[in-house]
Amino acid sequence: MTAAATLAAQAPVVARRRRPGLAGWSYLLPLLLVVGVWIYLPVLATVVLSLLDWNLTSPTAEFVGLDNLRRLLSEPEFAQAAGQTLLYAVALLPFSTAVPLLLAVLLWARPGRASTIYRSLLFVPAMVAPVAVAVAWRFLLNPLNGLVNEVTGRVGLPAVNWLGDPAWALPVIVVVTAARVVAFNMLLFSAALSGLDRRAVEAARLEGATGFEVVWFVVLPQLRSTTVLLGLLSVVLAGQWSFTNVSVLTQGGPDGVTDNVYHRIHTLGFGYFETGMASTASVLVLVFFALAALAAEAVRRRRGRS
C-alpha cells in the first residue's frame, strides 16, 4: 500500500452527492440499531432494574432506591466474589503477559515452517470448545482415580480432591483458564511482533549484539505498549475468561472460593431471581470499568505529553 493510496483512502468517495447524509445513515442504521438495542439499552435498563425490588417474573416491581446496593454490600458472598475477581486477575497476569510474550519472541526469532507449525499448535487451546476443556480437566482431576492423583500418588503424595478442596479449587481454575489465555495472547504478541521495526534489529545485529541483547534492548522496548495493554486487558477480563470454567467445574464452590463477580451476577439473577441485587452488581462492574478506562486514558495522556 503506497502512502498516496492510503491518503486518498481517507477522502470520502461518495460524500458529495446531493443528500449523502441520509443515504449514509441508512447504511449505518442496522449497526446502530443492534448495538443500541442489545448493548446500550440494556446498560440503561440495568441501572433502572438496580433500583427495583423484583424477582424477574412477578407482575409488580417496587421502587426501593439504593436498598439493593445496601443489601449487596452487606452480603459477604459478594465481597468474597469481588476479592476473588482481583485474585483471578493477579494470578492470570503472567499467563497473559510474560508466558505468551516469551513464546511469541521465540517464534519470531526463527521464522520458517517450524515456527508456523508451532504457532498453529500453540493456538489450538483457543479453538477447543471451552466446555470440552473443562470436561477434560474434570477427568484428569477426578479425585478417585484421575491421572493427576494417580501420578502424584506414585511419587508418594496424598490424594487431593482438586476441585472440592477450598485450598486448591481456585488455583486449579486459574490453570485450566491459563491455556486459552496464553494461546490468544501469544497470537496477539505475534501480531505486534510482525509490525516490528526490523531495521533496528538488523542494525543491532551488525553491531554484534547477541541474540539475548537484541531481544532485551531492541525487541522488548518496542512491545512495551502491547504488553501494558494486554496486562490491563487481563486484569479487566480475567473474571470473564474464568466464567465458563467456574460455571462448569465448581459453580463457584467449594464455600464460594472460586466465585467471581460475573458468576455471582449470574447466580443472583438466575439462581435466586434477585433481579435488583444482580443488576446492582452489574452497575458496580460497569462503574468500575468506566473508572478503569478513564484512569487508563489519563495515564496514556500523561505519557503522550512527557
Partner 1 sequence: MAGRELLPDGAGRARVGGLLWHLALCGAVVSLLFAVVWALLSSFRPTSRIYGLTPSWPTLEHYTRVLAEWPVATLVGNTFVMASAVAVGQVVIGCLAAFALVHLTPRARRPVLALLTVSLAIPPQALIIPQYLMATRLGWLNTEAGLIVPQLGSSALAVLVLVQHVRAMPVSAAQAARLEGALPREVLWYVVLPALRPAIAAVAVLVFITTWNEYLWPLLITPRTEDTTVQIGLSQFVTAEGTDYGGLLAASTLTSLPILLVYLVAARRITDAFMQAGAR
* In the complex, least distance from residue 17 CB atom to partner 1, rounded to whole angstroms: 7
Q: How far is CA 71 from CA 47, 51, 267, 282, in A?
A: 16, 12, 15, 14
* In the complex, least distance from residue 190 CB atom to partner 1, rounded to whole angstroms: 6
* In the complex, least distance from residue 240 CB atom to partner 1, rounded to whole angstroms: 6
CB 187 within 8 A of CB 201: no
**What's the CA angle centered on 189, arms 187 and 194, to 5 degrees?**
95
DSSP string over 146-204? -HHHHHHHHTTPPP--TTT-TTTHHHHHHHHHHHHHHHHHHHHHHHHHHTS-HHHHHHH
Q: Does 30 bind partner 1 (CB under 8 A)?
A: yes
* In the complex, least distance from residue 166 CB atom to partner 1, rounded to whole angstroms: 20
Residues in region 179-208 near partner 1 by CB under 8 A: 179, 182-184, 187-188, 190-192, 194-195, 198, 201, 205, 208
C-alpha cell at 246: 467456574
Q: Does 160 bind partner 1 (CB under 8 A)?
A: no
Q: Does 43 bind partner 1 (CB under 8 A)?
A: yes
Q: Which of 18, 38, 59, 74 binds partner 1 (CB under 8 A)?
A: 38
* In the complex, least distance from residue 59 CB atom to partner 1, rounded to whole angstroms: 13
Q: Does 20 bind partner 1 (CB under 8 A)?
A: yes
Residue with smaller CB distance to partner 1, 80 or 266: 266
Q: What's the sign of the alpha-carbon dihedral 49, 51, 56, 59?
A: negative
C-alpha cell at 228: 501494558
Residues in region 75-134 near partner 1 by CB under 8 A: 103, 106-114, 116, 118-134
Element (H, E) at 294: helix 275-305
Q: Does 42 bind partner 1 (CB under 8 A)?
A: yes
CA dist 221 and 228 (Å) reads 11
Residue with smaller CB distance to partner 1, 256 or 276: 276
HSE value, Cβ hemisphere, 13 Å, CA-based, for 214: 20
Residues in region 223-282 near partner 1 by CB under 8 A: 236-237, 239-240, 243-244, 247-248, 262, 265-266, 269-270, 275, 278-279, 282
Quick check: bond before 254 cis, omega within 30?
Answer: yes
Stretch that binds partner 1, among 39-47, 59-67, 71-79, 159-167 (CB under 8 A): 39-47
C-alpha cell at 261: 463477580
* In the complex, least distance from residue 148 CB atom to partner 1, rounded to whole angstroms: 10
CA dist 97 and 227 (Å) reads 6
* In the complex, least distance from residue 93 CB atom to partner 1, rounded to whole angstroms: 18
Q: How many residues interact with partner 1 (rule CB under 8 A)?
A: 118
